[in-house]
Amino acid sequence: MPILLCRFRLFNRIQRRLLHKSSPGRGQVIVIFAVTLLAMIFFTGLAIDAGSLYVTYSQLRRSVDAAAVAAANDYKAEGVGTTLNRPRMTKAALEVLKLHGLNASTMNLVLHLCDDANNPPEFQAQCPVPPDSPRKLVRIDATLKAPLYFLSLIGFRDVPLQAHTVAEAAPIDLVIVIDTSESMANETAGYTFPFDPYTCNQDDSCEPLHKAKVAAKGLIDTMYDGYDHVAVVNFDVTAPDVATVPMRDSLQDAKNDVDALKVHNDPPSTLIRSKWYSVHKDFDGDGDIDEGIGFNPVYPEDSSGDGLDNDDGTFGTNPSAACSMSTAADINDRWDSSGTSAGWTETGIPCDDESKFDSYDWDNDGVYTDADDTLTDAYLTNSAQVSPVCDGSTDPPTCPQPYWTYLTPNSTCTGCGLRVGAQVLKNNGRANAVWVMVFLSDGLVNLSDTHSSTSMIGADFPLGYCTGGLGSFNWATDCVDIRKDDTLNPRYCLDNPATTCPPGSISALADPTLYSVYDYALDMVDYAALTKSDNGAEVAGEPQTKIAIYAIGLGGAGDIPAGASGPIGEYLLRYAASVGDDGSRANDPCAGVPTKTNCGQYYYTSTGTGLGEIFNDISTRIYSRLTQ
């Protein structure tokens, strides 16, 4: 027992000694552990806050980019003479920041424009100095108080993060091309055919042209004075000389150009001498007289198709023969009873006098007399129905354009409008601008350019591409090529060499009469906007200009003309929108889409009432871009 007690006491003494000697070291470990733990917590907190700040800054950066684009999209004038609506632009930027989950109340946002004073130097350096064209630049500076989580425990509650972005609403070079043929008055109150647009032109009540003008001016109002340029092109029988179409840098001037548009006054086809209009030829003897109409629908005074009123009365069958009129009635009515040829359905043929205008029966008495020639002179003198365009003191009157442009019952040269619109942009468009063409028409085509309107047409086509001659397919349908179907085939091409023709087209070099006014309009779409083709030779060497075409089909554009297989007017306009979308015929956004339906860059409205909404939608699709 004593031995065990001694051992126990010895053990206790050793234990107390050991514990006494180890206590200082144990305290050091605790301190080191505590300091290390605090450091680990501190750095972990820093990492968490740093990560949070990185995420917040990335969100701020993306949000400011989007906000700058939103502000640039509102870089529009609210009517000529007003200044930029800075509060609206700032509001648009703040709304985008909110949509990105940022709290506007914790943010300081500053919007800079080139017109401001005290801009950041690096931004002001981007702003052009006159006479350089101005740019629609918007800089957004944003400062956000980013919250801290761990560091807030030691008094650091937030850190200011800054980001800036410069966006540009691209300057726009816009050409508005509007059909002003007489069909643009067919919604006018009291309209009946034939129609004289004089009154509605005077009081600006021709419909749907009036609504088209209101919509066009609304589109112009979304542009910005001095930055965007606008040209206005009209087309009917022809289009204006491109040299006379200014690219306006004043929006008010552009709107004045729109206001000046008038409906073309077509000479009434019902007053063409009935015998001239009704003479037909049955070519194959089957009794079908619709194969050939015995008058020239481009220029009724020209029965030979050479573009001149110099015919001898044989109606093109024998240009060297003289006109023989054996009775007083024939002489009075310019009719050759002895000139009947095999196959003609009338007894006798018209006897044209090159010194007189004898194709129209203006007084509607059933025969031609010299009074009709006098009335034709008067019509030419006042054919614009607004102001004289011909000098009536001479006989025949002296006119600035060929007579056929005033006397043709046809009035829709769609290819003319496309050509002039494209040339205005190609000649006057700015390299840094977005080139846009807005094209409004019913899509019908019954005329083309001629050698007198552009050197692009050879001198051997005095009446353009409606030159088949008496009884030809084109003349038999008043120059409207109803052969086109929804695949635009057959499409004919007059390119020389034929190796540059569009894929799938047929060369008409051997027989130019196959090439129609519709083919010409298709080629003018390509001239305006085609930059890519499966046939590389087609675009090789051509300037690769990018013109965005927005095509608007109005009224009868979606209808099927008599004898056609489909709505050929809408096919043409959809083709223009497709090529004008990406410069290519491929990937047509309207493929398979029902007719009279908006698709891609094509719009349709049955009446002028829908034009305002269409033009407004187009204004939202003219894009902006980030520059920094």
The three-state secondary structure class of 435 is strand
The three-state secondary structure class of 179 is strand
475 near 213, Cβ under 8 Å?
A: no
Burial-class residue 13 by CB neighbours within 10 Å (0-12, 13-18, 19+). Answer: exposed
Ranking 281-285, 343-347, 401-405, 416-420 by mean pLDDT, the lowest is 281-285
Within 230-369, residue ranges assigned H as helices are 251-259, 274-278, 328-333
Strand ranges (E), 180-252: 229-235
The three-state secondary structure class of 371 is helix
| Cα separations in angstroms, 196 against 305, 415, 447, 472 | 28, 25, 21, 31
The three-state secondary structure class of 300 is coil
Select the more confidently predicted residue: 195 or 246.
246
Q: What is the pLDDT of residue 317?
A: 43
**Averaged pLDDT for residues 102-113:** 82
Q: Residue 265: left (phi > 0), alpha (psi -120 to 50), or beta?
A: beta
Mean pLDDT rounded to a whole number for the chain: 81
Select the more confidently predicted residue: 80 or 477.
477
* Residue range 176-208, pLDDT digits in tens: 999 999 999 999 999 998 888 989 999 999 999
348 near 339, Cβ under 8 Å?
A: yes
**Averaged pLDDT for residues 514-537:** 93
How large is the C-alpha radius of gyration of the chain? 38
Q: What is the pLDDT of residue 522?
A: 96
* Residue range 39-75, pLDDT digits in tens: 776 677 677 767 777 777 888 888 888 888 888 877 7
Q: What is the pLDDT of residue 81?
A: 40
Strand partners, 439: 177, 551
* Residue range 115-167, pLDDT digits in tens: 788 889 888 888 878 777 677 788 989 888 877 777 666 667 778 888 888 88
Ranking 82-86, 398-402, 487-491, 506-510 by mean pLDDT, the lowest is 82-86
Token readout for 181 is: 């043929």
Ranking 115-129, 288-302, 505-519 by mean pLDDT, the lowest is 288-302
Q: What is the pLDDT of residue 606?
A: 93
426 near 543, Cβ under 8 Å?
A: yes
Ranking 406-420, 445-459, 559-573, 611-625 by mean pLDDT, the lowest is 611-625
Residue-wise over 243-278: b if at least 16 C-beta within 10 A, else e?
eebbbbeebeebbebbeebbbbbbbbbebbbebbbe
Range(s) of the chain covered by CATH 3.40.50.410: 173-266+410-445+480-592+601-622
**Averaged pLDDT for residues 208-213:** 96
406 near 390, Cβ under 8 Å?
A: yes
Work out whether the CA dihedral 304, 308, 313, 318 comes out positive or negative.
negative
Closest among 273, 270, 279 to 471, alpha carbons compared: 279
Token readout for 256 is: 């004045």
Domain 173-266+410-445+480-592+601-622 is in which class?
alpha beta
